[in-house]
Structure formats: structure tokens, C-alpha cells
Amino acid sequence: MNWNRAFTDLLRNGRPACWGNWTLSPKLKPGAVGIITPDTGDFTLVKEETPGITVATRDVPNQWKLSSNNVHRNESNVKLDGSGTDPDTGTKVEAGVEVKWEFSSVGSIASEFGIACESYIGDLTVLTKPETLKWLAEQAQSVSMGSGGNIAQGFGVVTSAIYAHSGLNVGSQDNGSSFSVTGSASAIHDMLGGANGNGSFLSVNQSKSVDQHMWPFQAEKLAAGPIPVAYTVASFDGNLLIPNWITRLGAFEIFFNNRPGCTYVTHIQLGYDTPQGRRNDEFSLTGGVSKTVGNIPLNATNIQVNVRFQGVMNSDNYSFNWPSPLGQWLTGRREIEMTGVWPGQTHAQER
């Protein structure tokens, strides 16, 4: 089981450009340079910092709570023996709470944190400056991820990171496993969703096998500082910057999906800019026939699509435009779905 891959997949339901940091590695900070393995999301650090960048911060919602569908969370009051100390207040804890996660199946995930902020590179165009690009190409070549001034996809720069004051990642390695944390009510609530960095716990308990990563990782301790829980990466194709890189891209493609039952003839016009000039293509699709247009180069910009449903008296027209697909199309693919039964209403929409 690759936990970082599963965590990343769960995370992308709401944050499609992010990679997960399942093990809470502190090295994943904005400006860090390394190799990202797309199948797993594992990050191999090459250099801790990129020269010339400026890192800014912004506030984000402070509560982070993700889980698989088959995870049950329960919170209950518990009586403690007074032997544990709340590190924030210094008082002995006799009454507290237990938060417990029950996992019905292998591979289930629970992730809860109190978020501190998001840090990010303020201006990504710095990465395309000749001196920065030259330095990055040298680092890529040193680890066999580039040559001749070109950089291979998968080598890149961490462009942003979401930092947490405290929290945990837990994954089930057995059917019917469970994991729980116990402590004072204020400390546990701060650990799993607080904004002040005072989260802590007194003890943990588990049944069967789980994979868990906690911050702070020691009982009766406050975290030393925020830790990254998720991050974004910019990579390159040669010297072409891919601002939000989540997978290897060969070329852009558009799937013109004439849904079954569509009876209209549609006329498609496709155009886009390249460094060599504007390219245009036109074709028609009869009812129910679909087509994929591939091999649109990664340096294409201002992609424009016009879809015309052919009528007798009037035709319906729909337009789509993507000024910067390399920054907008995370997977390199778009689908335009077309429906309509002649002579009734037509629809064309991006999926």
C-alpha cells in the first residue's frame, strides 16, 4: 500500500493540484528542488532552496478533516488518572476526551489537522529567468533528470505548501482496525483543528495494524513549529514551465464527446497559438460520432474551440477558450460534451 498515493488521491477531490505529504516530511517547503515520482508522490530532495525566490504566506481555513467513506469517527469523555500533564497549561489532566477512528477496511484513511497557513512562491516567473533556469537545469542534470539545458518532467520546485500546527494522518492496514488519541479536551481539540499551535495528546491506542504520523509526535509535548501536510510543484518540459504539475504530459488533447442519442451534425473549429504561429483545424461530426484531437503541443496558448450545431433555419453556436492551458489543464486533457435531438434544444459543455 502506498499511503502517499492514496492520500494524494483523497486530497485531490478538493485540491486537484496538490500532492500529499503523508509522512509529514519537513523538507517540502516552497523553493525546495527535487524529483517527484508521479505514481507515488514521493519527493526526493536535491536542493533545499531555489536562488532568487520570494516566499509569501496567506491565511487558509484552519480546520482540515479528510477521511475515506468507510471511516467512523467518535468522540467521548473519559476519566484519566491525573498522571499526565497538559503541556500548554502545566496542569494535571483528570478529565479528558478520546477521539477514535474505526476503519472497516484496509486502505482507509483519516487525516485531521489544525492549519497554520499556506506559504507560496510569490512570483513563479522567477523560475523562467535565464539565470534561474540555467541553475535548475544544472541541478536536473546532476541527478540525470535533464541534459543540454533541458529539464525532464518530474524534476521541479515546490511552489506552495499548506502548513499545520498539529494533527495526524492514520491509515488502516487491516480490516476492522482502530486508532485513538486521548488528552485534555482543549489540547485534543486544538491538535485536530486549532489555530493557536497548542495542540497535544497524552496517549494513543490502536487495535490491529495502522500506519500513523502525528504532529506533535511525542505525548505531553507541544509541536516545535508548523509542518507541511500538502504541497504543489512546478516542473518543466525542456525549459517550458508547467506551473501545476501532477502527471507526465506528452501533449494536450480534446475529446469531442457526441453523447449517444445526439442526432445533430456538429461543425468544430479549433485554433491555438504556438511559437511558430497560429494553427487551425476544422472538421464535422455526424450525430453520435465522437473524436479525440491530440498532439496539441504543450507550448500552445489561446486554445479556441467553436462548436456549431447545424440547423435548418438557425444554428446554435458554443465557444470555449483557454488562454494558458499549461496552467489550466492539470491532466493535459479536456472533454467537450455535446447533446441534442434534432430539431430540439442543443447543449455543449466542458467536462
Q: One digit per residue, pLDDT tens: the chain, 351 residues?
A: 899 999 999 999 999 999 999 999 999 999 999 999 999 889 999 999 999 999 999 998 888 999 999 999 999 999 888 888 888 888 888 888 999 999 999 999 999 999 999 999 999 999 999 999 999 999 999 999 999 999 999 999 999 999 999 999 999 999 999 999 999 999 999 999 988 889 999 999 999 999 999 999 999 999 999 999 999 999 999 999 999 999 999 999 999 999 888 899 999 999 999 999 999 999 999 988 999 999 999 999 999 999 999 987 778 999 999 999 998 899 999 999 999 998 899 999 998
Three-state DSSP class for residue 138? helix
Residues 198 and 236 in one domain: yes
Q: How far is it, in rounded angstroms, from Cα 31 to Cα 172? A: 33
CA distances to 34, 72, 85, 210 from 176, rounded to whole Å, are 38, 11, 32, 10
Which residue bears the cell 500500500? 1
pLDDT the model gives residue 331: 95
Residues 181 and 269 in one domain: no
Those residues whose C-beta lies under 8 Å from the C-beta of residue 285, and which sit 6 or more positions away, are 256, 258, 265, 266, 268, 291, 338
Residues 294 and 189 in one domain: no
Residue 247 in domain: no
Distance linking the first and last C-alpha atoms of the chain: 31
pLDDT the model gives residue 62: 83
pLDDT the model gives residue 314: 79
Residues 209 and 313 in one domain: no
Measuring CA to CA, which residue among 113, 89, 87 is closest to residue 195?
113
Three-state DSSP class for residue 122? coil
Neighbouring-strand partners of residue 317: 308
Q: Which domain CATH number covers 290? A: 2.60.40.1430
Q: Contacts from 129-132 at CB under 8 Å and sequence distance 24+?
A: 129/52, 131/51, 131/52, 132/50, 132/51, 132/52
The DSSP line for 199-237 is ---SEEEEES-EEEEEES-STT---SS-EEEEEEEEEEE
Q: In whole angstroms, what separates CA 249 from the centre of its chain?
A: 16
Residues 224 and 286 in one domain: no
C-beta neighbour count of 112 within 10 angstroms: 22
Could you list the residue range(s) of the whole structural domain that residue 104 is in? 3-242
Residues 169 and 220 in one domain: yes
Three-state DSSP class for residue 6? helix
Residues 154 and 219 in one domain: yes
Q: What is the CA radius of gyration of the chain?
A: 25
pLDDT the model gives residue 9: 96
Residues 214 and 74 in one domain: yes
Residues 162 and 22 in one domain: yes
pLDDT the model gives residue 20: 97
pLDDT the model gives residue 332: 96
Residue 136 in domain: yes
Residue 329 in domain: yes
